[in-house]
Amino acid sequence: MIENILGNVDYITAEYVVINNNGIGYKVICPNPFIYKVNEQKIVYTYQYVREDILALYGFGNRKERDLFLKLLNVSGIGPKGALAIVAFGQPEQVVNAIEQEDEKFLTKFPGVGKKTARQMILDLKGKLSIFADVEITEGLFAETEAIGDELDEALEALAVLGYGRKEIQKVLPELKKEKMTANDYVKTALKKLMNS
C-alpha cells in the first residue's frame, strides 16, 4: 500500500489531481482538489481502494482526514464517494463530535447522508474514534505557524513523514520562522540544522 506521495501537482480537475513523482503521474482522487495549485510540491496521504471492478487511489491533506475516510468506509451504506463527500464538507473533529453527541441533524447535512445513514454512523462509530482526540505531531506544530502559512506547514509535515519527532522539529522551528521560503527550502534548511545538532 502507498502511504503517501511527495511530488509536484501536474494537473487538477474537480475530482482528482495528478501528482508527479519521479516521472510517474499518480491520479489521486481528493476531497477538495482545488486546494492544490499546479506546479507546487505537495505531500498527499493515500489509500488504495481495490474492488473487482475498481482500482483507485484516494488522497488527503493529512492522516486524520484519511483515517476518518477509512472509518467511514466501514459504515454500512457509505462507499468511497459518500465518505469522500463527508471528509470534504467537514473537519474530522466536527464529524467525530457529531457522532459522539449523536447529532443526526448535523450529520444529515452531508451529501448522500439521510437519517438512516446518520443513525448507522452513530451506531457503528460512536466510542471508536478516540484516535481523533489526539492531535498529530504535525498538526500540533501547524497551530504555531499560522502566521507564516502553508509553505512552513507543508515542510513540517514532510519532516514528520521523514521520521523526525516533535522535540527535534521544535528545536529548529524558531530558526525556520525567521524567514519565508518555499516548502522545499524549509525542509533543506531544517535537515541541515538537524544533522548538525
Identify the weakest region by mean pLDDT among 6-20, 109-123, 169-183: 169-183
CA-to-CA distance for 66 and 157, rounded, in angstroms? 15
44-73 confidence digits (pLDDT tens)? 999 999 988 889 999 999 888 898 999 999
The pLDDT value given to residue 91: 73
For residue 171, the tally of other CB atoms under 10 A from its CB is 14
CA-to-CA distance for 16 and 12, rounded, in angstroms? 6
CA-to-CA distance for 140 and 146, rounded, in angstroms? 11
Q: Among residues of the chain, what percentage have pLDDT more than 70?
A: 86
Nearest to 81 by CA among 152, 129, 5, 30: 30
The pLDDT value given to residue 90: 66
The pLDDT value given to residue 161: 65
Q: pLDDT class for 149, splitting at 50, 70, 90? A: low
Domains of the chain plus CATH, in order, are 4-60 (2.40.50.140), 63-133 (1.10.150.20), 137-196 (no CATH)
pLDDT at 117 over 60: yes
Sign of CA dihedral 163, 169, 21, 89: positive
Overall average pLDDT of the 154-176 stretch: 77
